[in-house]
């Protein structure tokens, strides 16, 4: 077995960090592999799908209403992951409650989360698709995020990935108005038609 590489000590450049801090409020700023990326706020199909998916998952999995509870699910959290750090904003992210018992953090807690989630969801759009399927997937894998969903509101598809041996395995693909059980939330049936509702 080959020895593992030592963790990188490379940091983001001060100019990239300054540009991240100065990003206009109407833009979503991320730093991926030391490079700043700015995206406009999501278009309506993207925002609707993320909001509706959160509305379907939060009651049973965070609040324990009609489901098992045990999760903390956050809309558009800012994640600081790795030593640089990479700064990502998934559309939704979830942590097993035992890993994030103090979700609110209290006074003085940073606005970002430094703990990789157990599940992340990216809603694909033309402006973010390459990032979501490229560097963000690699960073999530590196940080040990176990489950990743890609939601495409225009194609009306849901792709479910599981981290296996450090690589992403496409476990299931769903489309249209199917009723599905999708890991790690297979305890309830998810009605995809509701995710695409207008």
In a domain, 98, yes or no: yes
Residue 162 DSSP SS3? strand
Pairing of strands 92-96, 86-88: unpaired
In a domain, 188, yes or no: yes
In a domain, 25, yes or no: no
CATH (domain of 125): 3.90.1570.10
Query: Would you say 187 and 197 are in contact if contact means Cβ atoms under 8 Å apart?
Result: no
Residue 173 DSSP SS3? strand
- In sign, the C-alpha dihedral spanning 55, 75, 73, 175 is positive
Taking only the tens place, the pLDDT of each residue in 154-195 is 999 999 999 999 999 999 999 999 999 999 999 999 999 999
Taking only the tens place, the pLDDT of each residue in 109-154 is 778 999 999 999 999 998 899 999 999 999 999 999 999 999 999 9
Q: Number of structural domains, the chain?
A: 1
pLDDT of residue 2: 41
**pLDDT confidence of 7, banded at 50, 70, 90?**
low
User: Which structural domain range is residue 178 located in?
Assistant: 43-195
- How does DSSP assign 73-128, residue by residue? EEES--EEETTTTEEE--SEEEEETTT-S-SS--TT--SSB-SPPSEEEEE--TTT
Give the C-alpha separation, 152 to 174, whole Å: 11
CA 163 to chain centre: 14
**pLDDT confidence of 3, banded at 50, 70, 90?**
very low
In a domain, 187, yes or no: yes
In a domain, 153, yes or no: yes
In a domain, 63, yes or no: yes
In a domain, 14, yes or no: no
In a domain, 88, yes or no: yes
Give the C-alpha separation, 188 to 181, whole Å: 6
Taking only the tens place, the pLDDT of each residue in 54-97 is 999 999 999 999 999 999 999 999 999 999 999 999 999 999 99
């Amino acid at each position: 077995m080959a020895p593992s590489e030592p963790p990188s000590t490379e940091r983001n450049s001060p100019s990239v960090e300054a540009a991240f801090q100065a990003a206009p409020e109407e833009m979503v700023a991320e730093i991926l592999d030391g490079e700043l990326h700015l995206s406009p706020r999501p278009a309506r199909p993207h925002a609707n799908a993320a909001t509706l998916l959160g509305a379907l998952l939060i009651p049973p999995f965070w609040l324990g209403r009609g489901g098992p509870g045990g999760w903390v699910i956050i809309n558009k959290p800012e994640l600081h992951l790795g030593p640089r750090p990479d700064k990502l904003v998934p559309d939704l992210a979830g942590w097993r409650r035992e890993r994030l018992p103090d979700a609110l953090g209290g006074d003085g807690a940073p606005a970002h989360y430094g703990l990789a989630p157990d599940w992340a969801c990216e809603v694909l759009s033309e402006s973010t698709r390459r990032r979501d399927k490229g560097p963000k997937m690699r960073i999530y894998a590196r940080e040990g995020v176990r489950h990743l969903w890609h939601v495409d509101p225009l194609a009306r598809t849901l792709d479910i990935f599981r981290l296996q041996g450090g690589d992403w395995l496409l476990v299931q693909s769903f489309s249209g108005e199917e009723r599905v059980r999708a890991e790690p939330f297979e305890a309830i049936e998810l009605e995809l038609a509701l995710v695409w509702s207008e």
